[in-house]
Amino acid sequence: MAMSEAAASAGFEPVRIGIVSISDRASTGVYEDKGLPALKDWLAQALQNPLHFEARLIPDERPLIAATLRELVDEARCDLVLTTGGTGPAPRDVTPEATLDVADREMPGFGEQMRQISLRFVPTAILSRQTAVIRGKALILNLPGQPKSIAETLEGLKSPTGEVLVSGIFAAIPYCIDLIGGPYLETREDRIKAFRPKNAVRVRPQA
């Protein structure tokens, strides 16, 4: 039985996730895109739900980015959309602007926490303009462009003994999606432990 089939048979809700890599050079084949594989691998390892991915590789064009985000939420019915790339101060970095173009509401805490995590590794994290928004019943998040930074941002920072020093942003994503009417995301706690208030935690029946 495939992993997604096993997850479905165990009663985990299916989740549709949009993953968007935004890069002029990768989208034209100048170099290999590493953002989409990094996102897909991390999510597959972190979530127990059966996952369906909608992947897009596009250039740094604000109207195209906004149109892609709308399509993923409104037509592909994604519950969560993660972008990678295009969040710095360079003139062609327009992912945050395009993300805000499609927003019903902004969720600034995600961007604040991403910068706090990245500042533990590089002082240039203050140049990042990542943001997050809600559109309909979907959460859209901007992530860094490098696979290592993607994992650090999602997982946070732990000590050599496993103590959580800085919480990764993914710990808050399942509950956020609960609150906006999406599916119940269940994480693998050895990778990332989702935080929910006690009254929001579903008790899984014992086998």
Bigger pLDDT: 3 vs 88: 88
CA-to-CA distance for 43 and 63, rounded, in angstroms? 27
Look up the pTM and report it: 0.92
**pLDDT score recorded for residue 11:** 86
Q: How far apart are the C-alpha atoms of 58 and 48, rounded to whole Å? A: 29
Q: What is the mean pLDDT of the chain?
A: 91
- Structure-token pair, residue 192: 């990332």
The end-to-end CA distance of the chain, in Å, is 18
Give the residue with greater pLDDT, 202 vs 105. Answer: 105
Question: Using alpha carbons only, what angle is made at residue 107 by residues 106 and 108, rounded to the nearest 5 degrees?
Answer: 105
Q: Give yes or no for residue 159 having a pLDDT over 80.
A: no
Least confident stretch, 24-28, 46-50, 66-70: 24-28
Q: Indicate whether 3 pLDDT > 50.
A: no
pLDDT in tens, 92-128: 999 999 999 999 999 999 999 999 999 988 899 999 9
For the chain, give percent helix, strand, coil, nearest 5.
40, 20, 40
